[in-house]
Structure 1
Amino acid sequence: VFVTNPIQKPFGDEIDHILREAFGTMKLSSSDIEDKLQKLYNATISTKVKHRATPYDTDDAYVMTEVAGVIDESKEHIGSINTFPSNGKFQIGWKEADKSALRLKRFAKPPKGTT
């Protein structure tokens, strides 16, 4: 596959590798895997969020978190993966979002009119 503009990897090399393996288990061709990854990365919205570790913090301390969000309701890319392989360092999988994740999700939504 000839790529003029390399894919920007918003999740880093390790997770990119896991995603490639996951798409590979779906018996996709190399070009189909690259296409799904490109769609996934193009759909990724990333932003830095400043928030308090707990709602009871009253000083000026806060945590900076980079939130990356992907919405794939039509299952064109990441939504088509049922299980993710593990590389030992990272464990990726589906789980129901807790309150903290749902709060951070609002920062990673696409701007209105872009979906």
Structure 2
Amino acid sequence: MDFQAVAPAPPVDHDEPTCPPPPAPIIINEAQLVLAEKRTSLAALRTGIAIVALPMSLTTFLIATSRYYDTEDVLHFLLPVGALNLALLVLGTWLSLRAVRRLRQQEQTLRLLKERNGALAEFLK
């Protein structure tokens, strides 16, 4: 048997634009990490808003039903409920403000990543 070497075909010139080279894998991983942190911050913001809404709804319920009880008779119940409402309001506000602060930091980090790598900017608009 006679084996002959086969020369590869010469590359064909295309007039079509080529895709830009993909960004470096490390930059993509950094962007994925920042986006995952952003999703976590959004979940914390959602939780903070829900925690703030709980005391408001409970207080509204207590005010709506106040004609069925005398405040002096149930004061020993209302004071702990009021303290719990205040604690939940503070916790929800803290969670929301912390999440917003972290979202701003993550947006700034993404902006820096886009500036460092133009190809990444095409994917993250």
TM-score normalised by structure 2 residue count: 0.21
- Choose between structure 1 and 2: higher helix proportion: 2
Which one scores higher on RCO, CA 8 angstroms, separation ≥ 6? Answer: 2
- Choose between structure 1 and 2: higher strand proportion: 1
Structure with bigger gyration radius: 2
TM-score normalised by structure 1 residue count: 0.22
